[in-house]
Chains A and B, each alone.
Chain A
Amino acid sequence: MKAIVAVKRVVDYNVKVRPKSDGSAVELTNVKMSINPFCEIAVEEAVRLKEKGVVNEIVAVSVGSTQSQEQIRTALALGADRGILVQTEDELEPLAVAKCLEKICNKEEPDLVLLGKQAIDGDNNQTGQMLAALMEVGQATFASEISFTDDAVTVTREVDGGLQTIKLKMPAVITSDLRLNEPRYASLPNIMKAKKKPIDVIDVNEIGVNVDKRVQTIEVQLPPEREAGIKVENVSELVDKLRNEAKVI
């Protein structure tokens, strides 16, 4: 079975981002970039499936700038076999990314496509669902457990109020939630090995999809600050304040 895993280069999880001074966009100059954490979980899952013998080839695909090769290398160091970068210096929207991924999938014919449920920059939570629609295959978002039978995949999903288990025909698109697994750290030998694994670079203009922007960002701003209140000395003061001042209990 062949798996494609999509990975996105995003601002590192620990960076506190700020708007640029002109409010046109988020300041990305000299900011640490990393693989999107949910994508990393998707890569880890693919690697575990390979270790179990379910998957025999993992292709890590990114749609992004030249520097996104670093995130593909991260996926290769975790255990992906080869990489594909659809290169563009523009920031593509989820629909455009899904269209690029669809083209790659048409060529690669994977049995399984794994993505993160959302990227922590745009917080859109769309690409996997859109890709599944374009490919006209089944989707399982927010996956916390994946298992395989002959020609189907059973996925447990984290939904509001509990868990839902569904079965999909293959090929299928699955997006990872937080508890699907805990990604490993790449070992130094694997990081070295990853440097030798191949990455194909394809220019977005050669892929034949319209990636024009449909949604323009007019401005970005900081959210309204919430004022800090007071510190209370003890439990009885807290209860008193909540009961008699805020009147919420």
Chain B
Amino acid sequence: MKILILAEHDNQDINPLTLNSVTAAKELDGEITMLVSGHNCKVAASQASEISGVSKVLVCDSPAYDKAMAENTAKLLSQLAKDYDYIIATSTTSSKNIMPRLAAHIDVQAISDISGIVDHDTFMRPIYAGNVIAKVKSIDAKKVITVRSTAFDAAPNAGGSAEVEEMSVSQELGLSSFVSEEVVKSDRPELTAAGIVISGGRGMGSGENFSLLDGIADKLGAAIGASRAAVDAGFVPNDMQVGQTGKIVAPELYIAVGISGAIQHLAGMKDSKVIAAINKDDEAPIFSVSDYGLVGDLFSVLPEFEEAI
């Protein structure tokens, strides 16, 4: 079996979530090659070569692959695909953008967001917002797969010594161009990488009230998330959304504040190791998945909690 993993990176650092794909690939028991495509991405490529389990790193360094634009990147992958049985990436907004496009180029029905590997062609994946888990078997000769990061551990990012091969491919299709990006600058950890996540829901009442979570997050070194209801209500931006249609997280501790616990939210956080919930409604479904539930008014509980930790 030959496996190609698409690395996600910012030309400097490999996104830690890529390491979860390496673990999934190891379960498939094959030779793992990692593609680092970008612009001035040699530093990232060298990092990739140190990941344990990766035997080869392909570097494709060209302005055409800057910002991982889907059109050029998927085309590049489609040209490499002939040499591989599996093309894998960790499920992120970037890979969700690229991998289905690749799959269509090579006429493969992609398999999104796998949460388990049964054997070389059979996989588990959540459907219906995680209400149901499907066991699916692919009959395509090649597999294009995205991996749910929380379902696989991160492979060690050191100890490997992969051969690095530079490729001189560069094809600018001219279909799209990057204009700008607004990266939310935060001293807090990324939602998907944080050891502790504290999330607010509709019960927060307003975007301003989310500041009640700031002090707690700072004290705990936590990331701040939100339920879809809070995003829908316009309290906070969508990139804070935890849930089936947002980010999937599985931290050591998840604190749900003013979140009722809609299925779509639970799908995004129920693999957390410990869940604590604060809600004024003692019947809220969130309590049925929480290790520790506190029934109370978040506006008095939160300041007290911040004080106590």
Chain A residues proximal to chain B, CB less than 8 Å? 11, 16-19, 26, 93-96, 98, 117-118, 120-134, 136-142, 144, 154, 157-169, 177-179, 213-223, 226, 228-232, 234-236, 238-239, 241-242, 246, 248-249
Q: Is the CB of A16 within 8 A of B104?
A: no
Contacting residues, chain B, for A117 (C-beta < 8 A): 245
Q: Is the CB of B100 within 8 A of A126?
A: yes
Q: Is the CB of A94 within 8 A of B181?
A: no
Q: Is the CB of A130 within 8 A of B104?
A: yes
Contacting residues, chain A, for B308 (C-beta < 8 A): 235-236, 239
Q: Is the CB of B126 within 8 A of A166?
A: no
Residue on A nearest B253 in the bound complex, by CB: A248
How many Å from the CB of A174 to the closest CB on chain B? 11
Bound complex: CA of A129 vs CA of B126, how far in Å?
20
Q: Mark B123-142, 1 if CB is under 8 A from A, else 0.
A: 00011111111111111100
How many Å from the CB of B288 to the closest CB on chain A? 5
- Within the complex, which residue of B92, B130, B179 is in contact with A160, where a contact is CB–CB below 8 Å? B92
How many Å from the CB of A96 to the closest CB on chain B? 8
How many Å from the CB of B116 to the closest CB on chain A? 11
B276 at the interface (CB under 8 A from A): yes
Contacting residues, chain B, for A132 (C-beta < 8 A): 70-71, 101
Name 25 interchain pairs, CB-CB below 8 A, sorted by A: A16-B131, A17-B132, A94-B110, A95-B109, A123-B126, A129-B99, A133-B101, A133-B103, A159-B94, A162-B182, A163-B239, A164-B178, A164-B180, A164-B181, A166-B69, A168-B175, A169-B176, A213-B139, A220-B127, A220-B132, A220-B134, A221-B132, A223-B131, A228-B293, A231-B294
Q: Is the CB of B104 within 8 A of A129?
A: yes
- Within the complex, which residue of A17, A168, A215, A236 is in contact with B139, where a contact is CB–CB below 8 Å? A215
Contacting residues, chain B, for A166 (C-beta < 8 A): 69, 176-179
- Within the complex, which residue of B128, B175, B179, B237 is in contact with A120, where a contact is CB–CB below 8 Å? B128
- Knowing A160-B92, A228-B290, the reply to whether A216 touches B137 (Cβ < 8 A) is yes
Q: Is the CB of A139 within 8 A of B132?
A: no
B289 at the interface (CB under 8 A from A): yes
Main secondary structure of the interface of A (DSSP, over half): mixed
B299 at the interface (CB under 8 A from A): no
- Within the complex, which residue of A122, A179, A249 is in contact with B231, where a contact is CB–CB below 8 Å? A179
Bound complex: CA of A154 vs CA of B178, how far in Å?
10
How many Å from the CB of B18 to the closest CB on chain A? 13
Residue on B nearest A126 in the bound complex, by CB: B100
How many Å from the CB of A157 to the closest CB on chain B? 8
Q: Is the CB of B132 within 8 A of A26?
A: yes
Chain B residues proximal to chain A, CB less than 8 Å? 67, 69-71, 74, 92-94, 96-105, 107-113, 122, 126-140, 174-184, 190, 192, 196, 220, 228, 231-232, 237-239, 241, 244-245, 247, 252-253, 263, 270, 273-276, 278, 282, 287-296, 301, 304-305, 308-309
Contacting residues, chain B, for A140 (C-beta < 8 A): 176
- Within the complex, which residue of B74, B113, B290, B305 is in contact with A239, where a contact is CB–CB below 8 Å? B305
- Within the complex, which residue of A123, A165, A217, A242 is in contact with B136, where a contact is CB–CB below 8 Å? A217
Closest 10 CB pairs of A and B: A229-B291, A214-B109, A138-B175, A133-B104, A126-B100, A129-B100, A130-B104, A248-B253, A138-B176, A165-B179
Q: Is the CB of B135 within 8 A of A217?
A: yes
Residue on B nearest A142 in the bound complex, by CB: B93
Bound complex: CA of A130 vs CA of B70, how far in Å?
11
How many Å from the CB of B162 to the closest CB on chain A? 25
Most A CB atoms within 10 A — which of B110, B196, B232, B263?
A: B110
Q: Is the CB of A232 within 8 A of B292?
A: yes
Residue on A nearest B110 in the bound complex, by CB: A126
- Knowing A165-B179, A178-B238, the reply to whether A121 touches B127 (Cβ < 8 A) is yes
Residue on A nearest B266 in the bound complex, by CB: A226
Q: Is the CB of B305 within 8 A of A17?
A: no
